[in-house]
Amino acid sequence: MGVGAGPALGAVPNHRRRHFDERVVPHRRRSPLRLRDWRMGTKLATVLVVPSVAFLVLAGVQTSTLVGQTTVLGDFAEQVGIGRQITAAVHRVQQERDRTAGELAELRRAAGAADRTAAIEALEPLQAATDRAIADLRRAAEPLADADASWRVAYSEVLEAYDRVVYIRPAVPPAVLSSDTILSNYHRAVGTLLDLLAEPDPGQGRTALSDAVLRYVQFARVKELSSRIRAELYAAARAGRYGSEDQVVLSDLRAQQLTALGAFRVAATSEQIRRYDRMSVDPAFAAAAELEERSLPTGGAVPEVLPASQWWPASEERQELLRQAEESVLADAVRQADDAAAGQLRTTLLVAGGIVAVLLVAVLVSLLIGRSIARSMRLLRGQALRIAQVELPDALDRLRTVSGGVPHIEVAPAVVRSLDEIGELAEAFVAVHRSAVSVAVEQAAMRRNVNAMFVNLARRSQVLVERQLELLDDLEREENDPDQLENLFKLDHLAARMRRNDESLLVLAGTESTRRWQRPVALGAVLLAAAAEIEQYRRVRHESVPDLYLVGHTVGELVHLLAELLENATAFSRPDTVVSVNARVDGADAVVEITDRGLGMSPAALAEANGVLATPPAADVATVERMGLFVVSHLAARLGVRVRLHGGQQGLVAVLQLPGSLLAAAPAEQVAGTVPARMLTTGEGVATAGGPDDQPVAGRRPVTVPRQGRPVPVRAENVLTPATGGTGGGWWSRKAPSAPARPGPAMSPEAPVTGGVNARGLPTRVPMAQLAAMSGSIRPQPGPSTHDPDPDAVGGMLSRLYSGVRRAEAEDTTEIPVPPTGGRREGGRQ
């Protein structure tokens, strides 16, 4: 056997797709290392990302440089700003040092306790002021804990030097240490503070800021030298005399002071020089300078020792003036540093903002352009895939399976309306789609014409076959020779097979069968009629058939389907084997199994045949070569019957699952007291089966010929009629059932239904006897009426009939999905 059906009831139209797969299977494996294999989105993203990353790197380097400069200037401004606390601490340490130098001389000279106490009490307020100034410096330096390393080292040296000052203070009242030992700690503390004051560095290329730092540092040194001179003169004043080295020290300090003052005037601005000049003519400053001049050695005379009570207040006023001038110079530097840091911050922010703005604009423009390209490509890809996977296959399926007029196929316009290359490509796709549809429409029209030719040829052939059958009926009715009658029956059988071939051509053309029945027919009768239409009918054995009825309008096509399967089973099995037919009830459905002991099929060929049965193919040259497979596939799809092939132990098993929608209730018109016979109706007559040892010939019932004992056949459409009585098993059973417990195969009547016998004793058939069987028992009918109808009336009816048929064919556009299969046949199976 070589025919079967798919796993579903009927064929599912695969061209009615509700969605399509957007994935495209590449012709080779995609490699991420090949640039041409990248997705379009990846390429566009790369085109956008690579320049953006390069721009960001360069902009990041520039921005980091600006940020670094801003950080340096910010730290510089903070370090310059902390100069206020540094100079305040220097001023307090200078006061404490200068007064300590004088009080040490007093402590060494004084003999009374009162003088010593007064000297000590004079130092305590100065020491407290120094401690407060250092505490202010500590608080101001806390935000600079993350400053550069050199500044932190200088600051740590200041704290260390101050700790030594605090440590040396208890040694002042006893005056057990020398003045140089005690004062050297103060000198070191002042020196570390001045070094910390000079620590701010604005970086390279900022000469103005470096000069600002240099100016206040130089002025601070001028003030420090003035303070050292004050300390030396105040110590000499309290001691009442100069020491051996005092004049040398004073001369050196005055020389350093003049040098520092000259350096300051060189570096200072004009405004700062004017302010210093105004300060130098201040009466307090001039009074201190006049007293200091009296301490200078002139003309070899001994320098005058200044009075302590007069010198200290005058020098204190001059130091205060210098302190004010120092604060003004420092304020200029602080303001300049703050302006530079703020300007640098603004520049950095402007540059960073400009970079971000340019990047955003570039990204936005790139995104807009890329989005436009990506959107066009996405729309073009979607339309191309939709055309390739849905629209064009649907159009081809509709045109391939059209049976009536060729439908109009609307081609959607291009989804990309731009005038660039992508838009032109979209228009090209639409043009290709339109050309493909046009070619398919032309092919559909040509195929429809071919189908129309098939239909016309098949129907012409059917007319000739029907006339041939009528002629055979007349010859059989008048023939007396048994041998000749048997030959006529063989011709009758061949004509019936020719009629089935004509019906196969109609199926090939997509037209329904013309043999219809209006009332339910027994399943056994359908199986019997199918066996009657094959050549090797004697080899068919019906094992068991339940008492089921089928709706009448499907009987003709079911007989055709079963006949193809039985033909295949007998053609591809040994002549000495039998083909078994079994039927059973499976839930709401009925299952028919046709088993042969033939050549069988390989697994690949079996899968291919089942695929064809599951999805009916389109009509082509391969269809004609495998007509049986094509006919079974399409008839099963029409009826909703599930047909599938299975490999048996010897040969194949064709399983048909008839859905419940094809089953019908038994007809009410049954002969009382009898089991209803299996009935097949195809439009011409009714016949009954013979005994268990006889097999039908060409669908005719076996009838014993008196002289020769040969079986006399009846045609398939005249096979069965309701039994009127009698006992015995039906011909389809190998053994007659002795006592059936349930409704089963009908018992063959003892006397066949005929129209009498002729002079030789041969039976005479009654055409259209089944019509009478549907309303009552079959009785011998008289011969046909001799009334001749009106030729004009018959011609008019036939003309209206054929015009209606043509109009129905033109309007019929029912689509039957028959996608092609690329299978090949094996062993000549159909």
Confidence of residue 401 (pLDDT cuts 50, 70, 90): low
3-state SS assignment for residue 176? coil
Confidence of residue 29 (pLDDT cuts 50, 70, 90): low
> What is the per-residue pLDDT across 69-122, written as a single tens digit (0 to 9) for each?
888 888 888 888 999 999 999 999 999 999 998 888 888 776 566 777 888 888
Q: What's the chain's average pLDDT?
A: 75
Indicate whether 200 pLDDT > 80.
yes
Indicate whether 491 pLDDT > 60.
yes
Answer for the pair 222, 264: CB distance below 8 angstroms, yes or no: yes
The percent of residues above 90 in pLDDT, for the chain, comes to: 20
Indicate whether 778 pLDDT > 50.
no
Q: Among 557-571, 618-632, 733-747, 760-774, which range has the highest average pLDDT?
A: 557-571
H or E element at residue 594: strand 589-595
Least confidently predicted of 97-111, 210-224, 319-333, 761-775? 761-775
Which residues neighbour 758 within 8 Å (Cβ) at sequence distance 6 or greater? Answer: 477, 478, 480, 764
Confidence of residue 223 (pLDDT cuts 50, 70, 90): very high
The dihedrals phi and psi of 580, each to the nearest 5 degrees, come to -95, 140
Least confidently predicted of 201-210, 485-494, 550-559, 785-794? 785-794
b/e per residue, 782-820, with b = 16+ CB within 10 A? eeeeeeeeeeeeeeeeeeeeeeeeeeebeeeeebbbbbe
Indicate whether 290 pLDDT > 70.
yes
The pLDDT of residue 761 is 56
Q: Among 51-55, 461-465, 576-580, 782-786, which range has the highest average pLDDT?
A: 576-580
Q: Which of 728, 721, 742 is nearest to 544 (CA)?
A: 742
**How do the domains of the chain map onto residue ranges?**
78-296+308-340
pTM over 0.85: no
The pLDDT of residue 623 is 65
Indicate whether 301 pLDDT > 80.
no
Confidence of residue 810 (pLDDT cuts 50, 70, 90): low
Confidence of residue 538 (pLDDT cuts 50, 70, 90): confident
Confidence of residue 458 (pLDDT cuts 50, 70, 90): confident
Rounded to an integer, the average pLDDT of 228-246 is 87
Q: Which residues pair with 657 in a beta bridge?
A: 591, 642
Phi-psi region of 52 (alpha: psi -120 to 50; beta: other; left: phi over 0): alpha
3-state helix, strand, coil in the chain (%, to 5): 60, 5, 35
Least confidently predicted of 158-167, 273-282, 547-556, 705-714? 705-714
Question: Which parts of 596-651 are beta strand (E)?
Answer: 642-647
- Cβ neighbours, 10 Å, residue 101: 24
Rounded to an integer, the average pLDDT of 504-517 is 73
Indicate whether 239 pLDDT > 60.
yes
The dihedrals phi and psi of 76, each to the nearest 5 degrees, come to -60, -45
Indicate whether 267 pLDDT > 70.
yes
Indicate whether 780 pLDDT > 50.
no
Q: What is the DSSP letter of 552?
A: G
> What is the C-alpha separation between 629 and 645, in angstroms, rounded?
11
The pLDDT of residue 820 is 44
CA atoms lying within 13 Å on the CB side of residue 326:
26
The pLDDT of residue 160 is 94
Q: Among 283-287, 293-297, 407-411, 800-804, which range has the highest average pLDDT?
A: 283-287
Indicate whether 448 pLDDT > 50.
yes
